[in-house]
Structure 1
Amino acid sequence: MQFDKTQIAIRERGLLELFDLGLLVGKRYAARILVATAAVAIPFMALNVALLWNLRPDLPSDVTTAQYGFLMVILIYLEAPLATALVTLMLGDAMFHDKPDWKRMLSAPFALIPRMFWLVAILRGVVPGMALVFLCTLEDGEAWGFFLFLLIAYATILRGVRPFLGEIILLDRNPLWAKDANTMTIGRRSAALHNPNFGDMVIRAMASTLSLPLAAAICLNIWALRGYLFGQWGWDAMMLDVLLPISLWLVAAYMAVARFLSYLDLRIRREGWEVELVVRAEANRWKGIVA
């Protein structure tokens, strides 16, 4: 590993540059990004179908179909930060190596699973959201819709003002807590990175809403292509359970790449990360010489 020879040039970039670079990175590592996304997204797809199973008997109804599709979108929206964790790990490994290696990438993350589960799956609303979506599918489940709306608002605000929690857990690998007040925990690291850049975080969150028209465009194109080729214009089980989620997971994977690049950009602006990498590279070379 050579810290001063990264696969992505370390320099400050604007928002449009980051989204453009996200496309280039996605193109270069397309196969690995798709594999990393699918490895987690496919189990989530099966789980989501199970959570919405109570609505399936009434799917011919337009109202039920709309509700089914809407709840599927909500589930994927809540699950995306957790489901794209492998993409973040893969990009972190690819940053410093010519050829990303799955074994090297997965050598350490098992110790990070409890942190991801508590901080992302629980505190960021993934598991509670799944439970509320399931309750919304029951008879008289409309009352739970209000709590689901509050949870979505809560998760959206957290993602907007502290978007890089997953990157901090997976790449910085700080402990969850520590007795020593000087130890850099996940909470302290997140506060140090996010709090001084609150305005910038809000602007980046607003820019990330481009994922909405992008997801709609991909989904509608898949629907239209299916209709023209096979004459299947309805929103049946194949469309709702497979094609709709695939279109959303593709956007989630791209936004994970853009978020990773935005995290690097923030570290460069806030911490002078490019200087740190050069210093660490020189330190490693001197260690080799002394040894």
Structure 2
Amino acid sequence: MQLDKTRIAIRERELLEIYDLALIVMRVYWWKIIQALAITAVPLTLINAGLLWAMQPDLVINETAGMFIVYMVMAIFLEAPLAGIPITVLLGDALFHDKPDWRRMCTGLWPVIPRIFWVVFLLRGILPGMLLLFWASFEEAFSPLLLLILLCGYASVLRIWRPYIGEILVLEKNPVFGKQKGAITVGLRSASLHNPNFGDLLIRGMASSISILLAGSIVMNIFGIRGFVFGRWNWDEVFLFVWFPLGLWLVVAFMTVVRFLCYLDLRIRREGWEVELVLRAEAARMKEIAG
């Protein structure tokens, strides 16, 4: 590994350049990204199906099928930060290595799983969302839907205000609680990275709403291809439990790549990360020569 010879050129980029680069990264690493996405997306899809299974007998009713789609969208929206973590780890490894290695990636990820559970699974609303989803599948009242909407709003604010918590957890591996005086915790690191750039983060958060159009386009294309090939032009169980979530997860994968590239760009703009990598690479070479 040579820190100054990365697979992605370390330099400042405009937002449109980042989206263009994300498409290139998806094309180059598409199979690895699909594998990384499956690690979390498959079990989360099964969990969501189990939570919403009580609605299954009534999916023939359009109103029930419509509410099922709304609940599934909310569930995947809340779970997106957790589902994207393996992709973030993959991209972090691919940045410095020609061939990403799953064993190396898993070894580095294992110690931070408790932090991920606390910061992402609990504080980012995934577990409360699952409980509300289970309640909503049995209860036709407006209360669980309203609480889910509020929870999604809370998650949206956090993602705009602190979008790169996942990268800090799995790539920088800061502790949640500092055991030693002066330790750089996740909170301190997040504040130093995010606070000075709130305006830029707000604009990029607004730009991420393009994911709504992407999701609609992919889902409608899946629906159309399924109809033309198999003659199924209805929202049956296979579409609602399999193909519809698949279309949404593909958007999650792409937006995770975009967020990773935005994180790199912010570190370059804020911290001069490209200079740090060059200095660290030269220090490593000097150490090898001296040793």
1:87 maps to which residue?
87
TM-score (ref. length: structure 1) = 0.98
1:133 maps to which residue?
133
1:228 maps to which residue?
228
2:186 maps to which residue?
186
2:285 maps to which residue?
285
Read off the aligned partner of 1:239 and give its amino acid letter. F
Indicate the SS of the match to 2:215: helix
Deviation at 1:150, TM superposition (A): 1.1
1:265 maps to which residue?
265
Deviation at 1:71, TM superposition (A): 0.5
Greater mean alpha carbon deviation, residues 113-122 or residues 173-182 = 173-182
CA RMSD of aligned residues (A): 0.8
Aligned length: 291
Read off the aligned partner of 1:256 and give its amino acid letter. T
Please give the alpha-carbon distance, in whole angstroms, between the structure 2 residues aligned to 1:56 and 1:287.
63
Runs of 4+ that moved beyond 3 A: none
1:154 maps to which residue?
154
Q: Answer yes or no: is the 8 Å Cα contact 1:78–1:125 preserved in 2.
A: yes
Please give the alpha-carbon distance, in whole angstroms, between the structure 1 residues aligned to 2:26 and 2:227.
28
Read off the aligned partner of 2:111 and give its amino acid letter. A
Gap runs ≥5 in structure 1:
none
Q: Answer yes or no: is the 8 Å Cα contact 1:135–1:141 preserved in 2.
A: no
Please give the alpha-carbon distance, in whole angstroms, between the structure 1 residues aligned to 2:81 and 2:139.
30
Question: 1:239 and 2:239 equivalent?
Answer: yes
1:33-44 alignment runs, 5 A limit: 33-44=33-44
1:50 maps to which residue?
50
CA distances 1:13-66 after superposition (whole Å, capped 9, x unpaired): 000000000000110000000000012111111111000011111110000000
Deviation at 1:140, TM superposition (A): 4.1
Please give the alpha-carbon distance, in whole angstroms, between the structure 1 residues aligned to 2:30 and 2:141.
40
1:250 maps to which residue?
250
Please give the alpha-carbon distance, in whole angstroms, between the structure 2 residues aligned to 1:180 and 1:115.
17
Read off the aligned partner of 2:273 and give its amino acid letter. W
Please give the alpha-carbon distance, in whole angstroms, between the structure 2 residues aligned to 1:223 and 1:148.
27
Q: Answer yes or no: is the 8 Å Cα contact 1:164–1:259 preserved in 2.
A: yes
Read off the aligned partner of 2:282 and give its amino acid letter. E
CA distances 1:202-258 after superposition (whole Å, capped 9, x unpaired): 001001111100010000011011111111000011110110011011110010001
